[in-house]
Structure 1
């Protein structure tokens, strides 16, 4: 039987997050232009400020499965994965200077309109269907992974969790359009930062200091950054992380419809490029702290490894509990 480990404040925060997200959708549905035009509904009237767009770019890239997966990666395999952040710094100017001006100059609603202009309607349809299939599969994982965690800590059935989160997200995005999406992303980003920083802070207190996270991790071989191998079969090396991270970043921030649509919600190309540039440090800070949180969890629980004690099976996926 699953035993709930949530306290009163945990439930209050979880409920408040859901209610606030729905309230944001309702607010933008009945304020401003009331989402009556495609320009407002899909592109937020192209008058958004830089901060919510920059943070939303990060939030659409760093989901719950990223927080779970990256922390688990560092827990089991060490902090080598943090090297991927170097690629973000390399890719940001490429996306900002080479890709973004093309899409912004066209002032189209989606990247697929560009494909139609360049290659014809068949390529647009093929790319659109491929993206739709990808997002269906991706959203299934994004909803399922947190549902497993909620089931473990609250006893809430994972199907109910999936339905609650899925319906809430569908509700506020359908009613409030792009404005609601951007501001709920801002809210959720604050919660993500609060969560990972809380893990690091409480672990530091329990261990007797922030530096103890790295002392314990180093003693157990979790701070090895020496893998410069060019062997593609190895789990993580400097070259695979930088090259792979570069390609991944560009596929998301340069040409992905989800990101490009957000980048078109501001008034000028210069502001759009600023959104992209500001999202880089926000993304990197969350990524680095999430890596540290994985080490912090390891440092605290190094003597009661759930995998070694057979309380958990496998660790190549996202911390799947039995």
Structure 2
């Protein structure tokens, strides 16, 4: 605990009040459940894009990326260099299905392609995985508040949950997006101040630090060993984590839902393209912070690596800095939590309550139910967050990624089979998904294979077993579903539908020209990272 002081408390409290006030203002415009889920289709693409960035960057990156890089070095960037490939895949294959259907829950696609059981299964998988991921975000923020104020960690968890809950219940997805915009500026302002202070305080020059790190093997960003037990190789980054992050951005209701609030499919794609071009620089920045901290502290061990950035801020002693950092981390945390609360509520209401319990109620009824589910999930998430607090001391970014890796293979497999396979059936899919879970669990518990590969293993097993089981149970399929990529293309051609809207493709599988620039950017980042060792 450090002396927080009146100035720091003023900054933090002002930030909290601003978020609550914004939620209150936006909440006055929420009249229907549709407004709560996707807004009124008036949100600009750049705000949605910033919200996407803020949501996934979160407190996991602010605290966890420097902590992870402190331990592993610059090679951690390999896990995050795949975003251009990920965004290309999502906007080419996923977005057209979701946006053309006009859905609020992306898991409605599974019912249209396979059936009700498939939709219920993937919705349930996502609810569990998102609850665990959001709990990790809560834990991250509790570390900060406890460190700087002395508040008990569990009390901190409850406080942060309550703040994010209030403005999410009031303002729905629109409040989520606009508060994320504000929160992102606070987050990066805090990180920028820390970076400047670190360079200013270090007794080493930047080049001296880099030379030392190179000598200790912490400056190689591209580890090319085919070691499946190693987490941060270039192969796990380009192959395994491309699949992992495609699942995060393509099959995750929390990430996709805000793009459904865009005016048209072009704006939805542009909002994701912002992440495709910006993610590399964002993660590289935080990872460089970690390796510079390693040089500054000469690699000394910390009881909890996630407090490194906080420890430095406390030692630096700039008036108001701890208040800014506290607000930045709370901003990072709440940009993820508000999104999670809203999307968990959306899936619970649409995929379960509205479908199986109350089918023909008023918009006002479903809005009330959506707000109830927001409260329900906010309370529920508190319990796994406490478990993280009791059992985790490593990088929270790595913890979050590990938790997600158990689930993403099943999600990716279900969507990939729907998009590309004529022969996959619902019965086969259920068998394949269950088998994939069993195999991933066996690999995690019985081998030293690194977690980034769990998604590839789970999705691969799911695909193979699904196709075999589909043939054995339902026989050969002769009709092509219109909800496959090929089926959609044939439908557009048969019905004479416009393939483009405002210059952007509506039909899945078609490549917008900007994607070629995105791929070129990916190649340029590889060349840059490969040259780093020769520059020092």
- TM-score of the superposed pair, with normalisation by structure 1: 0.89
Of the three residues 232, 243, 247, the one matched with 1:247 is 243
5+ unaligned residues in a row in structure 2: which ranges? 309-391, 400-536
Partners of 2:39 and 2:173 within 8 A in 1: yes
CA distance, structure 2, for counterparts of residue 264 and residue 206 of structure 1: 45
Summarize the Cα distance change of 1:220–1:154 in structure 2 as closer, same or farther, 3 Å threshold: farther
Corresponding residue number in structure 2 for 1:258? 254
Maintained 8 Å contact 1:89/1:280: yes
Aligned-residue CA RMSD (Å): 2.4
Q: Does 1:236 align with 2:232?
A: yes
Describe the shift of the 1:189–1:241 C-alpha distance in structure 2 as closer, same or farther (beyond 3 A): same
Aligned partner of residue 231 in structure 1, secondary structure: coil
SS at match of 1:45: coil
**Structure-1 residue corresponding to 2:37:** 42
1:56-85 CA-partner distances (Å, limit 9, x unpaired) = 111221221232221111111101111233
Deviation, 1:181, is 0.2
Partner Cα distance (1:316, 1:262) in 2 = 28
In 1, Cα distance between equivalents of 2:294 and 2:184: 24
Q: How does 1:64-143 map to 2 (within 5 A)?
A: 64-143=59-138
Instruction: Flag the 1:248–1:293 CA change in 2: closer, same or farther, 3 A.
Output: same
State the Cα distance separating 1:211 from its structure 2 match. Answer: 4.3
Deviations 1:108-131 (A, max 9, x none): 111111111112112111221221
* Whole-Å separation in 2 of the counterparts to 1:66 and 1:131: 22
CA displacement at 1:14 relative to structure 2: 2.1
Matched residue, 1:18: 16
Separation of aligned partners in 1, 2:82 and 2:160 = 32
* Aligned counterpart for 1:285 among listed residues 278, 281, 285: 281
Pick the aligned partner of 1:273 from 250, 257, 269: 269
- Could you tell which deviates more after superposition, 106-115 or 123-132? 123-132
TM-score (normalizing by structure 2): 0.55
Q: Structure 1 233/218 Cα, relative in aligned 2: closer, same or farther at 3 Å?
A: same
Q: CA deviation at 1:242?
A: 1.6
SS at match of 2:220: coil
1:75–1:294: 8 Å Cα contact kept in structure 2?
yes
> What residue number does 1:296 align with?
292
Deviations 1:207-242 (A, max 9, x none): 265445434433433202352011211232110122
Does structure 2 retain, via aligned residues, the 8 Å contact 1:53–1:275? yes
Aligned partners of 2:72, 2:80: CA distance in 1, in Å?
A: 17
Shift of 1:7: 4.2
What is the aligned counterpart of 1:187 among 148, 166, 182? 182
CA displacement at 1:149 relative to structure 2: 2.7
How far off is 1:307 after superposition? Answer: 5.5
Conserved 8 A contact 1:207-1:213? no
Shift of 1:18: 1.5
Tell which structure's C-alpha radius of gyration is larger. Answer: 2
1:181–1:213 Cα change, 3 Å: farther
Any stretches of 5+ residues in structure 1 without a counterpart?
none
* Structure with bigger RCO (C-alpha 8 Å, 6+ apart): 1
The 8 Å contact of residues 4 and 154 in structure 1, kept in 2 or not, is answered as yes
**How many aligned positions are there?**
313
